[in-house]
Structure 1
Amino acid sequence: MTGGPGRAGDASDRGRPRVLCAGHVNWDVTLIVDRLPAPDGEVKIQRRHQAGGGSAANVAAVLAGLDADASLFGSVGADESGTLARRELSTAGVHTYLVEADGETAVKYLIVDADGEVMVLSGEGANEAYTAEDLPPGTLTADTDLLHLTNQPPAVAAALAERAREVGATVSFAPGRQFVDRDFSETLPLADLVFCNRREAAALLDEDDDGATAYGALREDATLVVTHGSAGSEVHDRATGQTTTHDSFAADVVDTTGAGDAFAAGLLAARLDGADLDRSLAVANACGALAAGEVGARVDLSWGRIEAFLDET
């Protein structure tokens, strides 16, 4: 992975790679049902599960399990859900820099059917009650290998990306569902690596009459990662013009919540470990499959578990 000018050496020179994730921190309540309710309908809850969520928090937790020195910047409310979210992240080995705001921590209610399909009810909460100036001095330094941004106010994302490039850190960006509704035109040119799904890629990319692809605001040397769900994933390396694809792995899908975050964390961890794109996509798809096989957005992953999965497939 490449970052801006003035890097302080490879992560291997200093032990574990240092990663800072920034974005949403939620508390998730997952309700398992046999089918999603029809309008004015009713279904019985088969199981109830509570755990931490939020894309930035999910990625940080997986990276910590994959031997990264992972930190998280975001915000929570001064309530029980915020306390639970902090405690769970600490247990996962994530260093937290969380602004404690008035009001409630963002809580999401996720209804999951027998096929793993998800319906999400979101409480806005306090997961965007921070600015770039709230990040403590000395958190984002020349020793930082990677800044991973998820959905958040565009001005905050752009300011953090600017600071990361100034210290030579790689910038990755996974804007998520609100990509088409928010103006991230100042952040995209600062990102070395961009994650999106098929719908988001369609909003980002255009093809001319000759089939040539226009990448919009992406850097000339940016890497674009596109996920296709059960159809696998692909990486477009603009610097080399190379496209690498990888099929997804068969999985017993229980809950797809957080699978995309586990995918992103797996690819980032593999790249930080020096893997090529093919190996990185294999690791990422393995992480996504393992996450989809468990209830909740947070999955406990290790290199040993990933290698065992890859050996079995």
Structure 2
Amino acid sequence: MTGSKRVLVLGGTNFDIIVQAEKFPEEHEKVRGSECAALPGGSAANTALGLARQGCDVRLVSAVGDDALGRFCLDDLRAGGVGTALMRVDTAVRTSMAIVISSGTGKRMMTFPGADRDLAFAAVTEADVRDVDHVHIVGEPTAALGRVVGLARRAGRSISIEWNGRDMSPLAEGPGLNLMNADEAGRLPEARPGDVGVTARRYARQLSGDVILTLGAYGALWALSSGEVVREPTAAVEPVDRTGGGDAFNAGVIAGWLLGEPPSACLRRGLDAALHVITKIGAHP
């Protein structure tokens, strides 16, 4: 799309096996699933596809194995409009995988590491970063990711970080978007028990960057570094599978923010994108 915002996304690409069931099995219990899907996934890959659907020009930095699952993932990304020139194909290690048991209202996940994405991050150049408007990262706060964040800040590019249950403070200091869900925020070292709004404001102030939380059925909130908090409700739906809902939300928020929309409109855009995903199985259309 001519004039579209250019986004560099760094993080994981998986092949997912998603099983839908009414409840999670107990010890030695066999539970019959209602549906099963095997399809590409991974938080960064999902967000990259979501950003492409939002009209952004997206390049993904990640890694897959030189195997059938890796090729399937790459084909899916390209078909969805995501640039894969910066993807690493590892000839010695398989593609990462995840197994998800989804009950609609919740999920349990096991992940299996594969191709080393840090080697893909380490190959990102200053020119790669200067060629985009925005950098979005997902993953552990490693030195390889930290180097890319440093390149982005020196180049004056905006940054967003998916915390994904980790304390990403070492990479998050400075202007930008910090994205997480309410459960993740509640487990942070300086969380205010029972009050995610206070926690979001506290971290926004400490980081000098905005903190955005998804609140499940209660919508989402945006804590600005100035201290203001914006809340946006969401529609009541019966979720089918929550896999990738947060990634779709992130894509909508980032796309709206890059277009200069106010926080309430960005949250609405993200929530609508998430609703599209969680009312079916799997994060991809």
Q: Please report the TM-score for the alignment, with normalisation by the length of structure 1.
A: 0.82
The answer to whether the Cα contact below 8 Å between 2:62 and 2:121 also exists between their aligned partners in 1 is no
Is structure 2 residue 96 aligned with structure 1 residue 111? no
* Partner of residue 309, structure 1: none
SS, match of residue 138 in structure 1: helix
* Partner of residue 152, structure 1: 140
Which of these residues, 236, 239, 242, is aligned with residue 256 of structure 1? Answer: 242
The answer to whether the Cα contact below 8 Å between 2:100 and 2:109 also exists between their aligned partners in 1 is yes
- The structural deviation recorded for 1:207 is 5.3
Matches within 5 A, 1:1-313: 15-96=3-84, 97-101=86-90, 102-113=92-103, 115-126=104-115, 128-130=117-119, 132-135=121-124, 138-141=127-130, 143-177=131-165, 179-180=166-167, 184-190=168-174, 192-202=176-186, 203=188, 205-206=190-191, 214-215=202-203, 218-220=206-208, 222-238=209-225, 240-298=226-284, 300=285
CA distance in 2, matches of 1:207, 1:15: 42
Counterpart residue identity of residue 282, structure 1: R
The count of corresponding residues between Structure 1 and Structure 2 is 277
SS, match of residue 272 in structure 2: helix
CA distance in 2, matches of 1:244, 1:277: 7
CA distance in 2, matches of 1:243, 1:36: 36
- The structural deviation recorded for 1:191 is 5.3
CA distance in 1, matches of 2:114, 2:137: 19
The answer to whether the Cα contact below 8 Å between 1:106 and 1:127 also exists between their aligned partners in 2 is no
Listed one character per residue, the Cα deviations across residues 231-259 of structure 1 (whole Å, up to 9, x for unaligned) are 21100111x32110011221231000100
- The structural deviation recorded for 1:199 is 2.9
Cα separation, partners in 2 of 1:246 and 1:133, compared to 1, 3 Å:
same
SS, match of residue 140 in structure 1: helix
SS, match of residue 253 in structure 2: helix
SS, match of residue 87 in structure 2: strand
CA distance in 1, matches of 2:87, 2:155: 22
- The structural deviation recorded for 1:161 is 0.6
The answer to whether the Cα contact below 8 Å between 2:47 and 2:248 also exists between their aligned partners in 1 is yes
CA distance in 2, matches of 1:168, 1:288: 29
Listed one character per residue, the Cα deviations across residues 131-173 of structure 1 (whole Å, up to 9, x for unaligned) are 53312563211x4211001113521221111011111110100
The answer for unaligned runs of 5 or more in structure 1 is 1-11, 301-313
Cα separation, partners in 2 of 1:44 and 1:60, compared to 1, 3 Å:
same
CA distance in 2, matches of 1:129, 1:104: 15
The answer to whether the Cα contact below 8 Å between 2:40 and 2:73 also exists between their aligned partners in 1 is yes
Listed one character per residue, the Cα deviations across residues 204-255 of structure 1 (whole Å, up to 9, x for unaligned) are 54559xx7954389432x11101111121100111x3211001122123100
The answer to whether the Cα contact below 8 Å between 2:204 and 2:210 also exists between their aligned partners in 1 is no
Identity of aligned residues (%): 25
CA distance in 2, matches of 1:219, 1:34: 41
Counterpart residue identity of residue 153, structure 2: R
CA distance in 1, matches of 2:126, 2:67: 26
